[in-house]
Amino acid sequence: MKLLVCVKQVPDLESRFKPDPSGQWYSETDLAFRINEYDDYAVEQAVRLREQLGDAAELTVLSVGPDRVVEVLKKALAMGCDRAVHVQDPAPHLKDPWQIASIIAAYARSQQYDLIFTGFQSQDRGSAQIGPTIAELLGYACTTTLVGFSFADGVVTATRELEGGLKGVVKMKLPALVTCQLGLNVPRYPTLPNIMKAKKKELETVPVANLLQEETRIATESFYAPEKKGGGMVLEGDVTELVNRVYAILKEKTPALRQ
C-alpha cells in the first residue's frame, strides 16, 4: 500500500510579520520556519498507519517550497516516513492553492497512492483547500477535519469534527484523502537514532516546472497588517507596577474584587 503525506513549512506564528517589497506576502527576513502545526498530526497519523501495515506499506512525505523545506522533510523522515519528495519551488507563496494542489496532484497521479494525508489548513495562508482539491483532481474519496482515524479491511473510518462539540463518523474505501485537525493524535518527537537513520533515506528532488501546468486563479492583491480598531489599552513595563495598575482597573471596571 502506498501512502503520501503532504507537509508545508510555515514561519513561527509568534513572529512579527511585515509585507515584503512586492506587498503581496510577508518578508522572510528574521523569520524562523518550522512544520505547519496541522501537518505534524498528519505525519504522525500516516506513520502510525505505516507501522500498523508493516512492510506492506511505503510512506512518502512531500513538500513544495524553496530549499529550506528540506528541514521539515527531514523531520518527517525522522518521525518514520520512508522517503521524501522535495518539489523545488523558490516562490510557492506566489502560487494560489489551486496551483499548489495541481502540482501535488500531478506528482501523486504518477505514483498511484492509495491514501493521502494532509493537514486541515496551513497556518500562514489557511485556505483549507489543498487537500480536498487534490482529492477532487484525482477522483479520490475525501473527508476533512479528522479528530479520529482507523484503518481495517481496506476501509478508512474517520471521525470528523463538526461545530459545537458534535462529531460525524465517515467510512471510505481506498483510494482516499483525509485532512487532519489539531488534537488528532499526539505527534512524536524524533529520537536521535531515528534522526541518524533518516539521513540515509531517499530524498527525491523535482523541479516545480516539471509538474506545474496551471495558471493562477486567485492572485493576492495586497498583504498588510490589520487596521488597529483602537479602544484597547496596552500596558507595558515593570511587573509590580503592571500588577498595581491592573488591580486598580479590575476593581474599577469589573465586578471582580468587589466583595
Partner 1 sequence: MKALLIGESREGKLLESTYELVGFARQLGADSAMFLVGDPGRLPGYAGKLYLADVAQAGEYQPDLHKKLILDAVEKENPDLVVFLHSSYGWDLAPRVAVRLGVGQVSEVIGFKEGGFELGACNGKMRRAVKLQGRVVVTIQAGAFAAAPAEGSPQVEPLKESAVSLVEFAGYQPPEPKDIDLARAEIIVSAGRGVGKKENVEVIAALAKALGGELGASRPVVDAGWVEHSHQVGTTGQTVSPKLYIACGISGAIQHLAGMKKSGFILAINKDREAPIGEIADVLVVADVLQFVPALTAKIAG
Ligand X SMILES: Nc1ncnc2c1ncn2[C@@H]1O[C@H](COP(=O)(O)O)[C@@H](O)[C@H]1O
Ligand Y SMILES: Cc1cc2nc3c(=O)[nH]c(=O)nc-3n(C[C@H](O)[C@H](O)[C@H](O)COP(=O)(O)OP(=O)(O)OC[C@H]3O[C@@H](n4cnc5c(N)ncnc54)[C@H](O)[C@@H]3O)c2cc1C
Neighbours of 52 (CB within 10 A): 12
CB of 199 to partner 1, least distance (A): 30
Contact present, 120 and 160 (Cβ < 8 Å): no
CB of 235 to ligand X, least distance (A): 35
Which range touches ligand X (CB under 6 A), out of 23-31, 58-66, 192-200, 218-226? 58-66
- How many Å from the N-terminal Cα to the C-terminal Cα in the chain? 66
- Write each residue from 225 to 254 as x if it is in contact with partner 1 (CB under 8 A), else as -, in one continuous string: xx-xx-xxxxxx--xx-xxx-xx-xx--xx
When asked if residue 181 is in the footprint of ligand X (CB under 6 A), the reply is no
Beta bridge partners of 150: 157
- Going by C-beta distance under 8 Å and a sequence separation of 6 or more, which residues neighbour residue 109? 138
Amino acid identity, position 73: L
Among 2, 4, 14, 243, binds ligand Y (CB under 6 A): 14
Residue closer to ligand Y (CB basis): 222 or 240: 240
CB of 14 to ligand Y, least distance (A): 5
Neighbours of 150 (CB within 10 A): 12
Contact present, 112 and 58 (Cβ < 8 Å): no
When asked if residue 236 is in the footprint of ligand Y (CB under 6 A), the reply is no
When asked if residue 127 is in the footprint of ligand X (CB under 6 A), the reply is yes
Q: What is the DSSP letter of 146?
A: E
Which residues would be at the binding site for ligand X (CB under 6 A)? 6-8, 36, 38-39, 42, 62-65, 92, 97, 100, 118-119, 121-122, 125-131
